[in-house]
Structure 1
């Protein structure tokens, strides 16, 4: 996991939790698994987090923060709109989608995200939409794109389409094919 402004102990716990969740699934992962992976006692983990749900919610927020940083960086590069979108979609997906779809427990983790961390997912998706809104408005202001609706509606379409692609992909390669196609369709559709 990339470094964001986070306490090293908390980062170790989150990294250990991600590994344990990907290895054992959300339901079968125990606080002992997380503590062992972080090289800490269970008591030390409980000093940082109330329980496994608290860790998972924090992990979801942390992953969205990393996705937002990768997305912002990719959208700041120049180039053809379709190419920038493809780079943005893939940069965003490298952090969570790739490891999740590579795990035997990926679908369980997706479900856990929507059930135990729905507020964190909602906030994270809103953050990604806002990044897309800013980028789309910049394109429109520069005369590089014509949006068929508002930037907000277009950004919502992007994030919901990517979420749908994630939920239905059989593999990361399937997801990437869908993301690339979406980038071409959207890029072609809004480019002047």
Structure 2
């Protein structure tokens, strides 16, 4: 019972903190601001998180976990491989980025993910690749252009694309072109 209550309180803190970070920016938000937004005292907040960086790390981790779950759901839909991969990336990554970037300080928070431990980001990327690779394999990907290679290539492409392409529609069009190129390379057409 205590664990469930702690999880609920941590969830409320993360929700309140992310809202504060998006509205005012990470550097301007204080632990007092987060405590007030979460409906608790500052000393109570410190029982759950030692500082605001720990809150950011937990919030970013939760959002990245959510992105994997959204991707997982999109990838099991009954549709051709290319459509499932496009939906997974669009819903699990691009839509979440667009929602964050629509807030006053969301872009700052996206850029801060580089402050997360490299091991965690590497793990997230590996899990993302593990989700995507079987879909590429089902579309006919074989060595040297096997599923893990194509999924890694897509993941790396996304990292570079988000730095250059800002508009959501432009990102989605670029994704479609990239997937068309990948599917053509493995002879899958619409996949």
TM-score of the superposition, structure 1-length normalised? Answer: 0.83
| Runs of 4+ more than 6 Å apart | none
State how far apart, in whole Å, the 1-side matches of 2:37 and 2:178 are. Answer: 38
Partner of 1:124: 124
Q: Distance in 1 between matches of 2:95 and 2:63?
A: 7
- Residue 58 of structure 2: aligned partner: 58
* Aligned 8 A contact 1:64 1:124 in 2: yes
How far the C-alpha of 1:9 sits from its partner, in A, is 0.8
Change (3 A) 1:77 1:52: same
Structure 1 counterpart of 2:15: 15
Q: Aligned-residue CA RMSD in angstroms?
A: 2.2
Q: 1:152 aligns with which of 139, 148, 158?
A: 148
The CA deviation string for residues 70-102 of structure 1, in whole angstroms up to 9 with x for no partner, is: 111111112222211211111212663122221
Q: Which residue of structure 2 aligns with residue 99 of structure 1?
A: 99
Residue in structure 1 matched with residue 112 of structure 2 by the alignment: 112
TM-score where L is the length of structure 2: 0.83
Structure-2 change in CA distance of 1:175 and 1:76 (3 Å): same
Q: Does 1:39 align with 2:36?
A: no
Which residue in the other structure is 1:166 paired with?
162
Q: Between 165-174 and 51-60, report the one with greater CA deviation.
A: 165-174
**Which structure carries more relative contact order (alpha carbon 8 Å, separation 6+)?**
1
Q: Deviations over 1:113-164 (max 9, x none)?
A: 1024444323222221221123334x1xxxx323452322211111111222
Which stretches in structure 2 are left out of the alignment for 5+ residues? Answer: 1-5
Whose radius of gyration is greater, 1 or 2? 2
* Alpha-carbon distance between aligned partners in 2 of 1:189 and 1:78, rounded to the nearest angstrom: 23
Q: Which runs of 5+ in 1 are unaligned?
A: 1-5
Count of aligned positions = 182
